[in-house]
Amino acid sequence: MAATIRTFPTAPRTTTVADELARLEWLADLLDSRFRIPGTNIRFGLDPLIGLVPVAGDFIGMLFSLYILVELDALGLPAWTKFRMLWNIALDFFVGSVPIAGDTFDVFFRSNRKNLALARRALKKKGKL
C-alpha cells in the first residue's frame, strides 16, 4: 500500500471562494485535528503540540490563526463574524498559555475549525457560497 504525502496546497492566481475555503480548511485541519490518539476518537493537530513550548508555542499558534483570519477577511466577512473569530483566537491563546490545562484545552477547543465554520456560515448567508 503506497503512502500518500499531504502537501500544503498552493493557491493559484485566481481562486473561487470555495477553493480558498478548501485551502484554509486544510490548514485548520493540520493545526486542530489532523492526528488521532490511538484507541480513542480524540483528534488533535499541530497547535496543541506547538503550544507545549511555553509562551512562544502559543504565540506561534496564534500567528497561524491570525493568518487564517486575514485570508478569510479578504473574502468579505462581516465585522461581527471577524470579532467572534478574534475572540476565539484570543481565548485559545490566553487559556492555552496556562501550563498543562491550557494544552488540554487546545486539544478540545479547536479555534481554527470553529473560525472556518463561522466564516462558511457568514459567506453562505451573504450568498458568496
Is 1 within the bounds of a domain? no
The residue segments making up the domain with residue 111 are 17-125
What pLDDT sits at residue 54? 83
Is 77 within the bounds of a domain? yes
Asked if 34 contacts 42 with a C-beta cutoff of 8 angstroms, the reply is no
Whether the predicted pLDDT of 1 surpasses 60:
no
Q: Which three cell numbers stand for residue 118?
A: 463561522
What pLDDT sits at residue 7? 64
For residue range 4-20, list pLDDT tens digits in order.
Answer: 666 666 655 567 899 99
For residue range 33-91, list pLDDT tens digits in order.
Answer: 999 999 999 999 999 999 999 889 999 999 999 999 999 999 999 999 999 999 999 99
- Once rounded to an integer, what is the mean pLDDT over residues 23-41? 95
What pLDDT sits at residue 101? 92
Whether the predicted pLDDT of 94 surpasses 90:
yes
Is 4 within the bounds of a domain? no
56: CB partners within 8 A, 6+ apart: none
Is 92 within the bounds of a domain? yes
Asked if 35 contacts 49 with a C-beta cutoff of 8 angstroms, the reply is no
What pLDDT sits at residue 48? 92
Is 10 within the bounds of a domain? no
Is 98 within the bounds of a domain? yes
Q: How many domains does the chain have?
A: 1
Is 11 within the bounds of a domain? no
